[in-house]
């Protein structure tokens, strides 16, 4: 049975962790960033608790050793005084610590969990092994403290945090990124939402933590990838049977992917590789750019490519 964790509320204590990459900059910049994150979250009524990895660096691109980052994840889930867990940023390193986590213990302590990008690796396992709904959301140090953090993105993030992410999740930015069905024949399907960052989903294959798409709606997004790289990752998934197993596909933002001079566009790649009998929604406003929606991974959803919507069942 899928567990939807209790939403956050005013006064909730939220563990802010860095299970992947470190906050960029010297120690003074790190402290300034943490202070800004603290002020922003407190302004929303949340009491953030910054765990050790938010101030650590290891090897230049990790927020502490594998053991330190795994400890923060476990400590946050097991602390009875903590109501939710929020990843301060993505980067790289989440897949390195998966075999250091105790998922049976986590399953007994379900909590609100948010983040995206490299955090996709943990979303997949929390959804599949712990039967826990988690939230694909922008993160504190890379989005919410930025001067251009917009009201649209903030409203979706707050809805995900405070339990207001319900019913139809309608993309309200048609002029920014028009949503459309990949196929002329429109379709409707229902299933649990899975996925996240394409690079992480693809690299999970062949491991004990591989994504499972049987009977599910698959959401994918990415950033800074050439079209041939997207083609390679999507084809890897096709050969692994993930597109045949899923009931539908939602393609989010593909930010800074390819150039106007690319002869093969992502849309053509999708037409070449996706099953033509599955509903596919393109350009859904979620991913590595703003404005962006927040999505409940693991939740039971309905995809309607005629209406261009995802709905929580």
Taking only the tens place, the pLDDT of each residue in 9-35 is 999 999 999 999 999 999 999 999 999
Same fold, 13-149 and 168-312: no
pLDDT bracket for residue 1 (50, 70, 90): confident
- Region 218-224: mean pLDDT is 98
User: Which one of 117, 141, 204, 294 is the catalytic residue?
Assistant: 117
Give me the catalytic one of 123, 136, 192, 288.
Answer: 288
Pick from 129, 120, 147: nearest CA to 286: 120
Q: pLDDT exceeding 70 applies to what percent of the chain?
A: 99
pLDDT at position 175 is 58
Q: Which has the higher per-residue pLDDT, 178 or 235?
A: 235
> Which residues, at least 6 apart from 163, have a Cβ–Cβ distance to it below 8 Å?
7, 8
Burial letters 21-53, b for 16+ CB under 10 A, else e: bbbeeeeeebeebbeebbebbeebebebbbbeb
Band (261; pLDDT cuts 50, 70, 90):
confident
Radius of gyration of the chain (CA): 18
User: What pLDDT, on a 0 to 100 scale, did the predictor assign at position 178?
Assistant: 83
Whether the pLDDT of residue 172 is over 90: the answer is no
Q: With respect to CATH, is domain 13-149 assigned 3.10.180.10?
A: no
Residue 302 in this model has a pLDDT that exceeds 70: yes
* pTM of the shown model: 0.97
Domain coordinates of the chain in residue numbers? 13-149, 168-312
- Among this protein's residues, is 221 annotated catalytic? yes
DSSP3 helix / strand / coil % (the chain, rounded to 5) = 35, 20, 45
User: At the fourth CATH level, which superfamily is domain 168-312?
Assistant: LD-carboxypeptidase A C-terminal domain-like (3.50.30.60)
Least confident of 28-32, 62-66, 259-263, 271-275: 259-263
Instruction: Select which of 20, 123, 192, 221 is catalytic.
Output: 221
Annotated catalytic, 117?
A: yes
Q: DSSP states of 237-260 as a string?
A: HHHTTHHHHSSEEEEEEEET-S-T
Q: Is the pLDDT of residue 184 over 90?
A: yes
């Amino acid at each position: 049975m899928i567990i939807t964790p209790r939403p956050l509320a005013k006064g909730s204590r939220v563990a802010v962790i860095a299970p992947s990459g470190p906050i960029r900059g010297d120690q003074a910049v790190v402290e300034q960033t943490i202070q800004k994150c603290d002020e922003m979250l407190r302004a929303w009524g949340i009491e953030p608790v910054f765990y050790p990895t938010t101030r650590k660096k290891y090897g230049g691109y990790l927020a502490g050793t594998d053991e330190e980052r795994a400890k923060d994840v476990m400590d946050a889930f097991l602390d009875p005084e903590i109501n939710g867990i929020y990843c301060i940023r993505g980067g790289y390193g989440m897949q390195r610590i998966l075999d250091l986590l105790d998922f049976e213990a986590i399953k007994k302590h379900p909590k609100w969990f948010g983040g995206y990008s490299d955090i996709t690796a943990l979303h997949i396992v929390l959804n599949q092994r712990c039967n826990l709904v988690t939230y694909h959301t922008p993160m504190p140090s890379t989005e919410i403290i930025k001067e251009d953090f917009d009201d649209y993105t903030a409203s979706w993030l707050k809805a995900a945090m405070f339990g207001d992410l319900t019913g139809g999740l309608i993309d309200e930015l048609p002029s920014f990124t028009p949503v459309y069905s990949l196929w002329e024949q429109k379709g409707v399907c229902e299933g649990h939402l899975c996925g996240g960052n394409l690079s992480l989903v693809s690299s999970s294959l062949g491991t004990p933590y591989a994504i499972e798409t049987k009977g599910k709606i698959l959401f994918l997004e990415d950033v800074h990838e050439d079209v041939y790289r997207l083609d390679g990752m999507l084809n890897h998934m096709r050969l692994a049977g993930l597109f045949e197993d899923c009931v539908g596909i939602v393609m989010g933002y593909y930010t800074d992917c390819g150039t106007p001079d690319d002869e093969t566009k992502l849309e053509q790649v999708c037409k070449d590789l996706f099953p033509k009998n599955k509903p596919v929604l393109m350009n859904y406003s979620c991913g590595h750019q703003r404005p962006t929606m927040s999505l409940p991974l693991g939740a039971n959803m309905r995809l309607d490519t005629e209406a261009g919507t995802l709905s929580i069942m």
